Amino acid sequence: MNPSDVPFLSGVELAEAIRNKRISSSAALEVLIERVERLNPPLNAIIIKDYDRARKRAREADAALARGEIWGPIHGVPFTVKENNDVEGLHTTIGNPKDKDRIADRHEVMIQRVISAGGIIFGKTNLPIDAMDLQSYNVIYGSTSNPWDLTRTPGGSSGGAAAALAAYLTPFELGGDIGGSVRGPASFNGLYGHKPTYGIIPKRGPSLSRVATEISVRGPLARTIEDLKLLVSITAGADEANVGRRGWKLDLPQPTKSSLKEYKVAIWADDEMAPVCDELTETAEELAQFLESKGATVDRNARPNFNKWENQKLWVLLTAANRALNPGTAGNTSLRDYRMARERQQVIIDAWEDFFNEFDILICPSHSSQCFLKDESEDMNARQLTINKNNKKMVIPYFQPIFWAFITNIGDLPSTTFPCGVKNGLPVCLNAVSKVYYDNITMDFARLLKLEGGEKYSFTAPPGYSKAASAKM
């Protein structure tokens, strides 16, 4: 194969090419390194480079293959991970200056599983300080830009991961999500992303954690749904090293529907608590009409039966509770408040279960807008966003759009972000949500959308980063 094709292969395709010896792992790695060195500087997506160890591992992968050994389904595939994921020997700072010298002494469980499956880490990607912003910049690594428009953010907190993916600097990525940190960046860059059911991907191992452990998850981002499904299958499952988790085995339900017409879908495209821009509400309506044309049942008004304000408050309270237990951070949540929050969370989980006894899929946005112009002013709470609403400009509070992440995080629900084309020169995405442990169903719904809906429901390369554009360089 032509080595210049490597960046534009999916992880699945690259793994197959390496296994079939159409290209070596070492050669594939060098192609990606060259592209990173050439295209990453204005993006600042990949902020830690681990080239030497990756080269050694790639040589070992090639030697193993020559002996007839295959390490796993992604044997010899180079990839990058979000900075807050612990990789032995690399910095884990979460962009916080007080931890600028911290180096992980071991791989966290998720990372080890991908390495054991044959993957080769060659770098880490940028994020906001403490992974708690809708953009990706910090004083250690600087600011990351969106490849669709360098004046816009790639999102946060997995913004570096999403930008690297969209620019074809890496075949897939691993991030995390507590308030849309996978789904938002995926949406802002036109990618697939998966926020898994809480607990199915182990979180044991990170040396730093400043998020609410009851609602935070690890999850993958990719340019294809096939890569997304593969990464979930590799990383999900009980943590065998954790004594308390040895009593269960993950057995996620498998898809039973073969076409979109078999689905009953609810559309939640807008809400007074987090108004959504015209571009996204139009996209949701276009999807609704497309699904109806395929014979699916679509309800634009159905909503789960819980208090949205309480849902919002629970996210804030659980996050604050974790800060209260985390040395060096502010927090004053009482144990009583925490226990009550956990009990109320179960009420919301039960309401979602009732909702998904009637519907197979809920469609909703990840954010109120498409990728927005960077605003890196120090006081995040004073920032504002301007969206197009009913053909007029509407100003909303900066963090108001996290509402769309809260509704699924508090419910422990799986949510798959999928591309829906381009509007006004910027990508648009939506989310497919389903009941707890129905991760394979939300991902398969996205697969069927591409199968029956065509290229509109697949990743589109940003201008200047496509295979055709690269051929002209």
96 within 8 A of 103, measured Cβ to Cβ: no
Determine which one of 25, 181, 458, 470 is catalytic: 181
Retrieve residue 61's tokens: 């992968």
* pLDDT computed for residue 329 by the predictor: 46
Expressed in angstroms, the distance from the first to the final Cα of the chain is: 20
Region 263-272: mean pLDDT is: 98
**Residue environment code for 66-80, b if the CB has 16+ CB neighbours within 10 A, otherwise e:** eeeeebbbbbbbbbb
Closest-CA residue to 162 (of 271, 316, 259, 44): 44
87 within 8 A of 81, measured Cβ to Cβ: yes
Residue with tokens 């910027």: 426
Residue with tokens 């009420």: 347
352 within 8 A of 258, measured Cβ to Cβ: no
Closest-CA residue to 315 (of 304, 326, 323): 323
Quick one: residue 270, left, alpha or beta (phi over 0 = left, psi -120 to 50 = alpha)?
Answer: beta
- Cα gap 318→208, rounded to integer Å: 18
Single-letter residue type at 467? K
Q: What is the mean pLDDT of the chain?
A: 94
* All domains in the chain, ordered by first residue: 3-242+254-471 (3.90.1300.10)
DSSP-derived 3-state class of residue 315: helix
* pLDDT computed for residue 212 by the predictor: 56
Query: Going by C-beta distance under 8 Å and a sequence separation of 6 or more, which residues neighbour residue 337?
Result: 317, 321
Q: Is 145 a catalytic residue?
A: no
Helices (H) and strands (E) in the chain, counts: 13, 15
Q: pLDDT at residue 328 above 70?
A: no
pTM, rounded to two decimals? 0.96
DSSP-derived 3-state class of residue 297: strand
* Model confidence pLDDT, tens digit, residues 205-262: 776 665 556 788 999 999 999 999 999 999 999 887 765 556 788 999 999 999 999 9
Beta pairing class for 361-364 and 137-138: unpaired
R_g of the chain computed on alpha carbons: 21
- Cα gap 456→459, rounded to integer Å: 8
Q: How open is the CA angle 51-220-465, to the nearest 5 degrees? A: 60
Query: Going by C-beta distance under 8 Å and a sequence separation of 6 or more, which residues neighbour residue 94?
Result: 83, 84, 127, 129, 130, 131, 208, 210
- Cα gap 274→367, rounded to integer Å: 9
Higher pLDDT, 212 or 412: 412
Q: How open is the CA angle 47-129-51, to the nearest 5 degrees? A: 15
Retrieve residue 264's tokens: 């009953």
Q: pLDDT at residue 135 above 80?
A: yes
* pLDDT computed for residue 342 by the predictor: 85
Region 80-101: mean pLDDT is: 96
Q: Is 456 a catalytic residue?
A: no
Determine which one of 24, 157, 216, 415 is catalytic: 157
Q: Is 157 a catalytic residue?
A: yes
Closest-CA residue to 86 (of 231, 200, 173, 209): 209
Region 170-191: mean pLDDT is: 96
Determine which one of 25, 82, 389, 450 is catalytic: 82
Torsion angle (degrees, nearest 10) of CA 158, 163, 169, 170: 30
Retrieve residue 303's tokens: 């909503």
Quick one: residue 342, left, alpha or beta (phi over 0 = left, psi -120 to 50 = alpha)?
Answer: alpha
255 within 8 A of 361, measured Cβ to Cβ: no
Q: What phi and psi, each to the nearest 5 degrees, are found at residue 175?
A: -135, -150
* Model confidence pLDDT, tens digit, residues 380-403: 999 999 999 999 999 999 999 999
- Cα gap 80→126, rounded to integer Å: 11
193 within 8 A of 170, measured Cβ to Cβ: no
Q: pLDDT at residue 341 above 90?
A: no
Closest-CA residue to 276 (of 362, 189, 369, 188): 369
- Cα gap 173→206, rounded to integer Å: 17
Half-sphere exposure of 374 (CA within 13 A, CB side): 20
* pLDDT computed for residue 113 by the predictor: 97
- Cα gap 4→28, rounded to integer Å: 9
* pLDDT computed for residue 203 by the predictor: 86
* Model confidence pLDDT, tens digit, residues 428-466: 999 999 999 999 999 999 999 999 999 999 999 999 999
